[in-house]
Amino acid sequence: MVTAIEKIRLAAGAAPSLAQASTNDKNEALRQIADLLPARADEIIAANQKDLDRGIAEDMTVALQDRLRLDHTRIQAIADAVRLIIGLPDPIGDVIRGMSLPNALKLTQVRVPLGVIGVIYEARPNVTIDIAALAIKSGNATVLRGGRAAENTNAVLVRLLQDALALAGLDSAAVQTVDEFGRDGGVEMMRAVGLIDVLIPRGGAGLIRQVVEEAKVPVIQTGDGVVHIFVDETARVDWAADIVHNAKVQRPSVCNTVETLLVHEKAVERVLPLVLDRLAESSVTIHGDEATQKAYFAAVPATEDDWRAEYHDLDLAVRVVKDIDEALAHIKQYSTKHTESIITDDHINAERFLNEVDASTVMVNASTRFTDGGEFGFGAEVGISTQKLHARGPMGLQELTSTKWLVRGNGQVRA
């Protein structure tokens, strides 16, 4: 049986050829992926049902089941996202800057693939395709660990990806999975110095913390999403109701859903009941501070844990603050630096919020659900980086590249 480290070596061995592949060849691989997904939808859904059945038997949460589930509509949406990536410019070889030195040396800095990208994620089979498609377009090989919850689904998807590469005349070994090795496969990825060029954890806080603390290879940290919306004193009632409802209810299981709502005390009487009534109609449980409970009797008492909670479900923590200063202080204390939004008609407060909040994405008068590679026009994303080095926010094609300097001389030597 092939071991996890041998699979990682296969990906590393295929990486140079993929790095040199033409844009046309890489796009052909993506076209094959987009065609094969709907063509093999029944096979994918059958494997996905096995994962769902096991998850339900093991008391998987409804939110996690939603993240795991694939159907014909979702599979077609994944295929459509791949086709969007085909239409995006290939970043490899892009000239970032160039110059001629006084000694006539010509310098050019260009984009190049990172090499081998390892990604560890949980119960999100759509991510398998998103990652591989972006990696292929940016000339990178990939090693994937999608977790036990989606093991059957991901096995089918990885075979599909390898078939697509082969049909395009590229090395099918450029996409590998170590799912069958369980946690040991993830450990091998974290230790694969010289084979994996960067490791990206994508999932809950525990997974991310483990990878950041234990990995011996470079890591791009993605963050769990304790996401806030601040309803300012001047917020429009209809905007507040629509934005908060969308940010919580549209898909509560994902990392860009709002988890804490902060409300200016002067907006409580005018805005809060309508916003919370709208959420209640969608079965959202409100965890409120004392002021929220007084204004909205259906709220359950919030605890300190609620301000740190990433519910991934139809729950929302709500706190009344006296002004924007208190809102900013709360966000600074509890934010995971993913996405933060303000609803306001005050231009000064809007600009202050944009400038002072430290997060990968900061919004004014918009739902936090827009923090997404597809919505940003990237076609898909590998994850949402909450760190400040190399990449921040949704990671698309350019974030999967590094650079190198090309120096062209004519016999020069250094004095």
Q: For 110-159, how does the pLDDT look when each residue is reduced to its tens digit (9 = 90+)?
A: 999 999 999 999 878 999 999 999 999 999 999 999 989 999 999 999 99
Mean pLDDT across 362-385:
90
Mean pLDDT value of segment 84-107: 96
| 373 band by pLDDT with thresholds 50, 70 and 90 | confident
- pLDDT band at residue 381 using 50, 70 and 90 as cut-offs: confident
What stretch of H or E contains 361? strand 361-364
Query: How many angstroms separate the CA atoms of 157 and 163, rounded?
Result: 10
- Compute the half-sphere exposure of residue 147: CA atoms within 13 Å on the CB side of its CA: 21
- Asked if pLDDT for residue 223 goes beyond 80, the answer is no
pLDDT of residue 64: 84
| pLDDT for residue 354 is more than 80 | yes
| The one-letter amino acid at 371 | T
- Which domains, and CATH codes, for the chain? 4-220+395-408 (3.40.605.10), 227-370 (3.40.309.10)
pLDDT band for position 387 (50/70/90)?
Answer: confident
pLDDT above 90 for 61: no
pLDDT value at 224 more than 80: no
Q: Which residue has the tokens 């918009």?
A: 366
What's the pLDDT score for residue 117? 97
* pLDDT in the model for residue 3: 96
pLDDT at position 330: 98
Residues 331-350, mean pLDDT to the nearest whole number:
97
Instruction: Give the pLDDT confidence score for residue 362 in this predicted structure.
Output: 98
Helix ranges (H only) for 168-267 are 182-191, 205-214, 237-249
Per the DSSP assignment, residues forming a β-bridge with 393 are 385
pTM recorded for the entire structure: 0.86
